[in-house]
A = this chain, B = another copy of it.
Amino acid sequence: MKLSNQAQAFVLHFGEMGSRWGFNRTVGQMFALLTIHNEPVNADQLAEALKISRGNVSMGLKELQAWRLIELHHQPGDRKDYFTAAGSIWDLARTVFEERRKRELDPTLTLLRQLLLTEPRDEQESVAQEKIQEVYSLLEMLDQFANTLSKLDEKDLLKLMKLGSGLNKLLDLKSKATGSSAKKNSTRK
């Protein structure tokens, strides 16, 4: 399978960015390739196109499956496994987002919850405990917010993201409508 210059550039870039997005270079390249390619691709084709070993492809595919980013297909009369990206670009982005939330927040929330169970023994520990509590509260809120966003359907998500500075107004609207947080906010430092 031959890649056009454009596809090549796209694939290589996703390889380089891979580590920032949570996977290694070749996994990033494989994902990019499956994303711009419409037809299902098999492991040998990936190995050839990306010039990497067959074993590496096998491991990469396993990782992409763990991320739920690819789907397995079969061609009639061909015993090979074929893969495609799992859904639309939108679906993929959502999956990456959810998966990263899990990997980047959950372990930390678990640890912090545990640290907050022990009583501080002295002044020093008390200060640390407070900080840990603050970090926990913030991350936990972030986690829930990310969850909320994940659950929105494409239409609403699009609406929200396109709001821009309109978001401010909408939030104003909300407090006026309910009056729920007006008092609290007036006591801020």
Contacts and interface: CB of A to CB of B under 8 A. Distances in A.
B161 A167 contact: no
Interface of A: 4, 6-7, 9-10, 13, 17, 20-22, 35-38, 88-90, 93, 103-104, 107-108, 111-112, 115, 118, 120-121, 124-125, 127-129, 131-132, 134-135, 138, 141-142, 144-145, 148, 152, 154-156, 158-168, 170-171, 173-175, 177, 181, 185, 188
Given A20-B103, A155-B185, A167-B148, A129 B35 contact: no
A131 B35 contact: yes
A104 B97 CA distance: 13
A181 B159 contact: yes
Contacts of A159: 171, 174-175, 181, 185
A6 B129 contact: yes
Given A161-B142, A161-B145, A155 B188 contact: yes
A163 B135 contact: no
A138 to B, nearest CB: 6
Chain copies in the assembled complex:
2
A144 B160 CA distance: 11
B138 A167 contact: no
A152 B170 contact: no
B6 A115 contact: yes
A132 B10 contact: yes
Nearest to A174: B170
A173 B171 contact: no
